[in-house]
Structures are given as structure tokens and as C-alpha cells.
Structure 1
Amino acid sequence: MERRTAADIRTDDIRIVTNQAPPLVGHNVVTADLALVEAVTRHGSAEVVEDLAPLGAEAGTAEAREHGILANEHHPELTPYDRYGNRIDEVAFHPSWHWLMERAVGHGLAAAPWETDAPHAHVRRAAGFMAWSHTEPGHGCPISMTYAAVPALRADDAIAKEWTPLLASTTYDPGLRTPSTKRGALAGMGMTEKQGGSDVRANVTVARPTSTDGEYTLHGHKWFTSAPMNDMFLVLAQAPDGVTCFVVPRVLPDGTRNQLDVVRLKDKLGNRSNASSELEFRGTVAQRLGDEGRGVRTIIEMVAATRLDCVLGSTSLMRRALNEASWHAAHRSAFGSLLADKPLMQNVLADLAVETEAATALAMRLAAAVDRAHDPHEAALRRIALPLAKFYVCKRTPFMVAEALECLGGNGYVEESVMPLLYREAPLNSVWEGSGNVNALDVLRALSREPEALAAWITEVGLARGADARLDRAVDETLALLGDEATLEVSARRLAGRMAACLQGSLLVRFAPAEVADVYCASRLGGSEGTFGALQGGDLAAIVARATPTLP
């Protein structure tokens, strides 16, 4: 065969692209995720999956992917004053942000579940939130806070009746206007301050009662308040009888803007599409929500709901990263065959798939507990499993996304692949609504103060008792950790991680394909997990095939 020289190669030859994976578009983000479909069917029904199919189809379009990229490239911009010098404190978003928000609200992912009698409303919403977050995770923040505000608002019937219908609306109606003139509203939250962080009892923002019953003015500073263009915020401040929760409307009933100064927008690692801000209160009008001195107890319902969304959001990041990695490996050849057929790549992808399926199973189990909150076991399980899942799933996400990025090699390190966006986003949920330490300590708090919480965990993991010896042994060893009270706090992370892993293992043993449960118990419950891709045994090809997206 005659050897070709550089001179023989025509210019157009080098423009022919080969051995590159096509863009992952045109798949249904809901129905192509078998672990999600099975969990929704298990805790809801096949009809719920069918209802979510249009959302899944839209989330998988090239248009949705493009809007997600644009919303992150064009960051929100703060305008403190108008051209005449009037203080307006408005934040402008790119049209792609509004495109994403309109569909998220329209699909009922904000507070809609609280205003329906549908039996599986929170399961449906949780699955939809996970699926739609594939488009772009940042806009999920105001959606999540709007969802989470409603249970806290129930501390005051009058306030709840005023705001809940607007928050539960499926109409996206942005802009600062009198709430009574809007077709829908969004909520935010402001707890942390410069000197306190997670220690909200150290807050110094002051609430001063006015002559109107239940009305106060706020004076102080909030270090983190996301989505400052939302219509109302739940905030904590020091009232005469202690830390108290307040509702702060952005626009007052008479149409004037509440005195709420947006000092600056935070320059963050990720979550770039979302406007996180610092606020100053200078006589800001607020309504008391709940009793004075009971602010933490009042707002904790909002915190619990946002923690659920942290788990859902992290699981969504895992799944999107896994989709991109497995899709790439299914279409990219190296050393004579597809990457997906290489034994070591199969090991890595299978490990990532098992991690994602375990997170999905636990996240949807928590959503089901919200739907069945009237059941004492479900309420107790939600109490203990939320901080467990928030700690463990959110901690595992950066590790998992980094490995998925590496599956694409250099292609995964460039912005166009979307993997850097996912990687920057991956640590967020572990920080938001309490860091890892805060959640691990919350587990200890639940165990010491609420014996029904431990009983619920034991009951739940016990449903798989006898099905896998490794799981049984891990549960027994985890319970033994509770015996040494002197070392409980210093070992809180270890305990929380083992409890979460056992809970995931129980769910997989009961409901997942045998090859998934077997690999999970062998790798997660038999000792230290180590790096991804160190599995020993198991039908790895079947696990990868189950997790790889398919086009219709």
C-alpha cells in the first residue's frame, strides 16, 4: 500500500470529524432513567410516570440544553439605582433564565403539591424536580425555596391563606408588583449573617414591633439571601423575646417597595445563573410568623423541605453526569473497540451507575415519606433520613461527578461538554442548608431527643433483614457505634455515613436488580469504598446498559 504524505492530504479531510460522541439530546430524561421510573412507580404509580413524560421529553431537548448553557454564561446583573437616583435594587436575568423558570413553575415543581389532593403529589414533584434540574441546576434554588416555604407558613393561618395560593400557582409571573395583582409568586429565605453562619441564634438583626399587631421593622444584614427578586422571604431576627421568624414582602400592599437593599451579588464557584445576594434591612417591614422566640422551630419546616431538594438536586447532578459519561463511552472508540466495552471503563461506569441508583432510591423514598407524613413511621423516618441523606448523598456528589468528568478525558474538561458546569455545582448542596458537620450533628440530635427516629431507621433497614449477609452485618456494626457515647460527636460523620449507606443498601436489596444490589453491598458495606472503578465481580455490563440513556 502506497504511503501518503502530508502533501497528499486534502484540506477537507481534516475537517471530517470522526470518533466523537454525538450530543446527548432527544432523549426523555424521565423515561430513559430506569431507576427513576421504577422508584416513581413503586412509591407512586405508572400514571405518575406517564404524567411526567412531557417534562422529561422537554428536558432532553437541544433547546433546553442551550437555555441552560446561556443562563450560566450570562450572569444576573444588579441595578441598585434607576437613572434618576431612586433606589430600586433590581436584578436582571437573561431570557434563558426566565425560559427555564417558566417551565419549572408550569410543570408544578414549585409549591403546587401543597395545594392538591393527588395521593402522590410530592413523589411526582420530586421526580420532576430531579429530571428538570438536568437542564440547569441554578434556577432550582428559587423553585426549591418556594416549595419549602409553604409548610413553614402554616404557623399562621392568615398568612398561609394569603401566600400559599400564589406560591402554589403554576403561572410564572416575574417582576416586582403588589402580590394581590400577581398570578403567581416565589419565595426566598434569609437566615445566615456574617458573624453566625449556621449558628442562627447568634444573629444580630433586630426586629422592632410597630403599633400594628404582628408587624415589625427589621434592622440588620443578611449574608446570604438567594433570589432577591422573589416576592417574599422568610427571615430570622432578634425580637424582644428572642429569635423569631418573619415574612418580608418585596412589595408592600400599597404598591410601594419594601426598604430592602441589595448590597451586592455573590461571586460564587458555581450556581452562576442564580442571584445570591447580601441584603441590608433599614426599617424593612415584616410580619411575625409564629411566636416570638420560636423562630428556629418555625423555619425548620422550610429547612427540612429544602434539605430534601438538596438530595434531589445532588442526585440529579449525578444522573446528568452519568448520562454524559455513559453516552460518551457508548460512542467513543479507543484501542480497537468502544470505550463502553473496555473492562476497566465498564467497572468505572458501573460503579457510577450504582452510586446514582442508590441516591435515586433514597431520594424518592424521602419524597414518599412527605406524601405519607400523617403516618408516624413515615414522619419519624423523614426526621432521621433527611439529615442522613443530605450528609451522605451531597458529600458523594463531587467525588462522583469528578470521576464522570474524567470518563470524557480532555473533552470533559472543556465548557462545551457541560461537565465543568456540573463539577462546579457539585459541592453546593453539601454547603447549602447546613454543612456536612451540621447535618451529622443533627443526626445525633434526632437520635438523642427523638427515640422514634432511631426506631424508624431500624424498622426501615430491617425490611431487608436476611436478604444479604453483608447488609445485616453492616446494620449490626452501625448500631454498635451508638454504644460509645463518649465518642459519638467526634464520630458523627462516620455514623451518619454508615446509617445512610445501610438505608440505601436496604432499598436496593429490596427493589433494585440483583446485580445492582450485589455490587452495592459488596463495595459500600464491606469496608472503605475507595475510588470508583474498583468493583470486584458482578454483571458490570448489565449495570452499565441499564444506566446508559437511549433515544426513542
Structure 2
Amino acid sequence: MAKQSTFSPTISDTHEVTNQASPLENYNAYESDQVLQQWIDKFGGSWGKEKLSKYGELVGGKLLSDGFEANKHKPEFVSHNRFGHRVDLVTFHPSYHSLMHEAISAEHHSLPWTNDKKGAHVVRAGLEFLHTQADPGSGCPLTMTFAAVPAIKHQPTLAKEWLSKITSTTYDPRNIPFYEKSGLTIGMAMTEKQGGSDVRANTTRAVQIGEDQGVATFEIVGHKWFCSAPMCDAFFVLAYTEIGLSCFLLPRWKPDGTKNPMHIQRLKNKIANVSNASSEVEFRGAFAWLVGEQGRGINTILDMVSMTRFDCMVGSSSIMSLAIQQALHHTGERSVFGKNLHEQPLMQNVLADLAIEAEAALAISMRMAKALDDDEHDFVRIGTAIGKYWICKRAPQHTYECMESIGAVALIADNVLARLYTESPVNAIWEGSGNVQCLDVLRTLQKEPLAVKAFIQELGQARNINELYDDYFIKLEASLSNKKDLEFRARRIVEKMALAWQAATLLLYGDTLIANSFIKSRLSDSGGHMYGTLDTSVNVAEIIARAKPKLNTNTA
């Protein structure tokens, strides 16, 4: 006779789940972020608190969920309809449309262009910062639509017809001609296979075919290796005329209501930025309006590129901010070796260091937003290139360290850290890679003395506050005056400029503890190159408390 089992009938219940952190969700992403609030207030955005709080509640709840769904269900391309007609249609999951609708309703894409109140760029940057935490991918068409406004103003006739719909708070995704829609989104298609960032190597050609209300119209033939958000209503495109490289606005539908021959070849199968459709396209005699002067296409489009690079700064700062918030939330609820993980000395060193890095990135991003509000053109010219290079470069390593603080669970696809990590290199690559930004800074140093002067004056305001900073500033000035092997040393030069700018911004406008800790760990000879190398004199507990999400403000 078999011996009767002594196991409990609940043998399938192998264990009770303990010592696991709760998910950071169903919270107000703005009200819980003390650091974001302080920097927005510092640069004149306090009047936008109600708008930001309302959007923060969406981001920490509904839009966070939409972000996961929009990245799970990829955009799909339909080349022809069932009757054989070419439609070039990209379809999206409803969650993507929800993200776009809420962002456009909140004026993510338009606030500074429709509201002349001081601080509008700062408040709008806050909206972008929050939205990125829900889904960076949908931020791409939002950014391009926002950045299109200065570019389209180069052609006043087009601006008069298009601007009210570009800045409309109505999201209208219908696949119909632009003049029948209540709201428009704008994309850009610059990159070609043979050139990449070198747009002068483009082969796309444009031939004038007439005029439309006094605006020269062209027929464009060529290809674009990257066209993001191909369901936008029109695209800024660079192509060669007989005079030279010129800028055009190419609509998806012609003014006569017929489909413009902009043929999508395929959607890119990306490892990141999945919710956003990126495509390869061919123009087979596509209709377009000239924007700006013939032969000066790069100058025309630079106004748009400057804005998209600024958004890269804000977006990467947002990724870093949410990454450290996730790490602080997780380690604050998980016990290891008898203490909460975020109370262990070595972990405190790492977490505080990561918090300092994230705040320094946000600080110069918001300082650049203020510069846009104050029309500091020269400072914006050099600051966007420096900031875009440095913040976007720092984001991947920063995000990885936050993942390591959490552990293997951060690698799981339904953890927001996994998506942040795959997204983190995107901004460094798009809108001009790191080397392109460095070369842009060098050109500014050599040819735009007013921009250099504005930058040095900004840094000079922070002198006589911290001795280490003063020494670093003097060495930086000497480095900038040394013209030998400039291009070879470009990354090192831009890195020094970025660190000095972050230090100056923290000293002038920020928290004293954060400023001094940043300077001691980044500008001194004893500073480490890995996170978690702060000096024992740094009050890490206070830094952690400052950066940790304040979930007592939960409104969900």
C-alpha cells in the first residue's frame, strides 16, 4: 500500500511574494517631481502649474498605459487598398491616437506660438518633459510640428494659410487633404542613403512647374532614407534646384485633392521609438512649394533643426529623470542585507550621483527654454548644439545604471526602464549625431563670435561662488583659445563646455547642495568617471530625498 502524502493540499502555492517593490504608476508625474517644479518656477513657468499638473496626472496614469500599448502594437503600412489604388497609409493602435490627442489638446506642439506670455517655452518644455515619460515615440511628430512654425514663416503666404491649423489644439488623423482638416501635423524628410547627415550629398531634384498665390511650385523626384511620421500632412524636404540646395513644403495631398506621389517604400523595423512610424519614401514627381530662397535651403531649415535639437535635450533629460525616479522608488521599497536598498551606503552613492546628473541635464534644458522665451538668439545657437551633444550622450549610460540599481527585473519588457533604455540612444543619433554637434560647435567658435561671447558671458556670471568652478572656467577659456588640432579635440572641448555650463546653471539658479556636489564630482581632478564615486562629504541622503517621487501627492 502506497504511503499517503504528507504535503498540504495547497502544494501549488510555493511561496508568498515579499520584498518586491510596487510599480510606479497611477500618480501625478508633475506633482510628484519636486525637481521639475523648481526649475520650471525658476525660469518663469509657474503660471503653467495647473496645465502641467493636469497633464502630469494623465502621464502617470492613462498615458503611461497608452505608451506601453502603442509600443506593443507597431504601426502597420498599407500600400494599396483592396481595389488596387495606391494609398500609402500607415495605421496605428488607438493608444497612439490617444497620446497624440492628449498632447495636442494640451498644446505640447504649439504653446509658445499661440501664447506670448513670458515662460511659454518653459511651460511647453515641461509638457514635453512629461509626455516623453509616457511615450517618447509620439513625441517625434509633436516636436516636428512644433519646430515647423519658425521654418514655415520663411514663406509668409504659406504661413498665413497653414499656421492656424498647425497650432490648432485639434488632433485630426483623417487621411484627407490638408485644406479639409481642422488640425495639421508636420514632418521632415532630409536624410538620403548616400549622405546621412551630409545633406549636401543629396541627389533629390526639384524643377519649377509654376506658382500658387505667388509662391513658386516645384515637382520633386528623389528618395529619402528616413522620413519619420509619414502620416503627417506635409513635410519639409531638401532638394536641389538649378540654383542650389533648397527647402520645400511637400503636402501628402495636392491642392487639387489628388494624392501626391510620395510613395512609402517600407516602415523601418526599429528596436526603439517603436510607436513612431519611420519610413523610406520616394518622390515621383511630387508637388511642393518653395520655402525661403532657392539655394539657401540649409539656412531655411536651420530654424526648424534648432528647435528639434532643443527638444532632444528636453527629451533625454526626461528619460534620465524618470529612470532615476524609477530606481529611487524601487530601491526605497526593497530590502537587502537588513536595510532598505536605498539606505545602503554604496547604493546611496550611486543613486545620489545619478540624481545629480539628471538634474544638471534638466537645468540647462530649462535654461535654454528661457533663452528661447527671451530671444537670446546667439546663446540658443551654441547652447542647443552643446546641450544636444552632452545630454543625449549621457542618457544611455545613466539609464543603464538606473536599470542596474533595480536589477534583472528592469530588463523585462513590461518594465518602463527597459523601454527607456532602448529609447535612450535615439536622440543622440537623430537630428545630427554627436560628431555633427561637435563640428557645429567648432564652426560657431570660428565664425560666430557673438554666440561665443554670449556663452562665455553666461558662464562668467557664475564666477566667485565656487573656487573649483573658477579654476575650471579659466582652464576652459585657455582651451578655447588653443586653435591647434581643434577638430581632433572637438569632443573633449564640447564636453568641457557642457560641464562648465551645467555647473554655472546650477550655481546661478539651482540648489547649493546639488551645485557644489556636481562641481566637486565633475570638475575637480579627483572626480570619478563612473557613477557612485561621490566624495564622503556629499550629503547623499538629502540629494536622494530631493529626487525621490513624492507620492503623497497621488491624485489617481
> When the two structures are superposed, what TM-score results if normalisation uses the length of structure 2?
0.95
Equivalent position of 1:26 in the other structure: 26
**Could you tell me how far apart the structure 2 residues matched to 1:338 and 1:220 are?**
59
SS in 1 for 2:322: helix
* Contact preservation (8 Å) 2:190, 2:237: yes
What does residue 265 of structure 1 align with? 267
Change (3 A) 1:514 1:117: closer
Which position in structure 1 is the counterpart of 2:519?
A: 521
1:46 aligns with 2:46: yes
Query: Which has the higher mean CA deviation after the structures are superposed, 273-282 or 16-25?
Result: 16-25
Match of 2:420 in 1: 422
- Map Cα deviations across residues 184-231 of structure 1 (whole Å, 9 max, x no partner): 100000111011111111110000110335000000000001000000
Which residue identity is paired with 2:466? D
Which residue number corresponds to residue 429 of structure 2? Answer: 431
The one of 278, 289, 292 aligned to 1:287: 289
Amino acid at match of 2:202: N
Q: Deviations over 1:300-347 (max 9, x none)?
A: 000000000000110111011111111000101111110011111111
* CA deviation after TM superposition for structure 1 residue 13, in Å: 5.0
Letter in 1 for 2:424: A
Q: Is the 8 A contact 2:45 2:123 kept in 1?
A: no
Matched, 1:466 2:468: no
Structure 2 counterpart of 1:394? 392
> Secondary structure of the equivalent of 1:134?
helix
The 1:45/1:149 distance shift into structure 2, 3 A limit, reads closer
Q: Which amino acid aligns with 1:514?
A: T
Q: Which residue of 2 aligns with 1:351?
A: 353
SS in 2 for 1:262: strand
**Partner in structure 2 of residue 364 of structure 1:** 366
CA deviation after TM superposition for structure 1 residue 42, in Å: 1.1
- SS for the counterpart of 2:385 is helix
Shift of 1:365: 0.6
1:163: how far off?
Answer: 1.3
Q: Are 1:362 and 1:507, in contact at CA under 8 Å, matched by a contact in 2?
A: yes
Is residue 2:72 matched to residue 1:73? yes
Trace 1:296-307 onto structure 2 (pairs within 5 A): 296-307=298-309
Amino acid at match of 1:486: K
Distance 1:240 1:93 in 2: 39
CA distance in 2, matches of 1:364, 1:529: 26
Q: 1:192-341 counterparts in 2 under 5 A?
A: 192-212=191-211, 214-341=216-343
> How large is the Cα RMSD of the aligned pairs?
1.5
Could you tell me how far apart the structure 1 residues matched to 2:529 and 2:118 are? 41
Distance 2:329 2:310 in 1: 28
SS in 1 for 2:256: coil
1:66 to partner: Cα distance: 1.7
- 1:217-248 superposed Cα distances (whole Å, 9 cap, x missing partner): 00000000100000010000001100000000
Alpha-carbon shift at residue 183 of structure 1 (Å): 1.2
Query: 1:175 matched to which residue of 2?
Result: 174
Code of the aligned partner of 2:217 = E
Verify the 8 A CA contact 1:222 1:280 in the aligned structure 2. Answer: yes
Deviation at 1:64, TM superposition (A): 2.2
Q: 4+ residue stretches of structure 1 with deviation over 6 A?
A: none
CA contact (8 A) 1:112 1:167 kept: no
Aligned-pair CA distance for 1:483: 2.5
CA gap 1:198/1:339 in 2 versus in 1, 3 angstroms: same
Match of 1:546 in 2: 546
Q: How far apart, in 2, do the equivalents of 1:45 and 1:365 lie?
A: 12
Aligned to 2:135: 136
For 1:521 and 1:238, locate their aligned partners in 2 and report how far apart those are by CA, in whole Å: 48
Following superposition, the deviation at residue 116 of structure 1 comes to: 2.2
Q: Secondary structure at the match of 2:230?
A: coil
In 2, the alpha carbon distance for the partners of 1:275 and 1:526 equals 44
Aligned length: 543
Structure 2 letter corresponding to 1:235 = V
Bigger RCO (CA 8 Å, 6+ sep): 2
- Paired residue secondary structure (1:351): helix
* Displacement after TM superposition at 1:160 (Å): 1.0
The residue type paired with residue 495 of structure 2 is: G
* Superposition deviation, residue 472 in structure 1: 1.1
Kept in 2: contact 1:346–1:540 (CA 8 A): yes
Farther-moved stretch of structure 1 (92-101 vs 22-31): 22-31
> Is residue 40–residue 127 contact of structure 1 (8 Å, CA) maintained in 2?
yes
1:497–1:261 CA distance, 2 compared to 1 (3 A)? same
Deviation at 1:96, TM superposition (A): 0.6
Q: How far does residue 453 in structure 1 lie from its aligned partner after superposition?
A: 1.1
Displacement after TM superposition at 1:23 (Å): 1.2
Task: Please tell me whether the aligned partners of residues 71 and 97 of structure 1 are also in contact (alpha carbons under 8 angstroms).
Answer: yes
Shift of 1:44: 1.3
**Unaligned runs of at least 5 residues, structure 2:** none
Check 1:433–1:529 CA distance in 2 against 1; reply closer, same or farther (3 A cut): farther
Tell me the distance in 1 between the aligned counterparts of 2:477 and 2:418: 39
- 1 CA distance for matches of 2:221 and 2:47? 50
2:476 aligns with 478
Structure-to-structure mapping, 1:117-136, within 5 angstroms = 117-136=116-135
State the shift of 1:10 in Å.
4.5
Q: 1:550 to 1:15 in 2, by over 3 A?
A: farther
Decide which moves more: 517-526 or 394-403. Answer: 517-526
CA distance in 1, matches of 2:154, 2:529: 45
Q: For residue 504 of structure 2, what is the aligned residue in structure 1?
A: 506
How many Å separate the matches in 2 of 1:174 and 1:366?
A: 32
Q: 1: CA distance between counterparts of 2:320 and 2:466? A: 26
Q: Which residue of 1 aligns with 2:449?
A: 451
Give the structure 2 partner of residue 99 of structure 1.
98
Q: What does residue 385 of structure 1 align with?
A: 383
Residues 426-450 of structure 1: CA distance to partner in whole angstroms, max 9, x if unpaired? Answer: 0000011100000011011111111
Alpha carbons 1:505, 1:521 under 8 Å: kept: yes
| Aligned AA (1:55) | Y
Note the C-alpha offset of 1:285: 0.2
Contact 2:74 2:275 in 1 (8 A): yes
| Aligned 8 A contact 1:259 1:281 in 2 | yes
1:81, distance to aligned residue in structure 2 (A) = 0.7
User: Is the Cα–Cα contact under 8 Å of residues 317 and 422 in structure 1 kept in the other structure?
Assistant: yes
**Shift in Å, 1:254:** 2.3
Task: Pick closer, same or farther for the CA change 1:146–1:542 going to 2, 3 Å.
Answer: same
Post-superposition CA distance 1:446-479 (Å, at most 9, x none): 1111111111111111111111111111111111
Q: Structure 1-normalised TM-score?
A: 0.96
Q: Deviations over 1:31-70 (max 9, x none)?
A: 2222211111111142222331101111111x32221111
Q: Secondary structure at the match of 2:134?
A: coil
Paired with 1:300 and 1:76, the residues of 2 have a C-alpha distance of 29
In 2, are the aligned partners of 1:112 and 1:170 still within 8 Å (CA)?
Answer: no
Structure 1: 5+ residue runs without aligned partners? none
SS of aligned partner of 1:464:
coil
Q: Give the conservation status (yes or no) of the 8 Å contact 1:111–1:148.
A: no
Q: CA deviation at 1:513?
A: 2.1
Alpha-carbon separation, structure 2, partners of 1:529 and 1:454 = 29
Letter in 2 for 1:316: S
**Contact between 2:33 and 2:550, CA under 8 Å: does it hold in 1?**
no
The 3-state SS of whatever aligns with 1:297 is helix
Q: Cα distance, 1:111 vs. partner? A: 2.5
Letter in 2 for 1:189: M
| Paired amino acid for 2:78 | T
CA distance in 2, matches of 1:282, 1:33: 49
Report the Cα offset of residue 84 of structure 1. Answer: 1.2
Q: Aligned equivalents of 2:258 and 2:283: distance in 1?
A: 16
SS at match of 1:211: strand
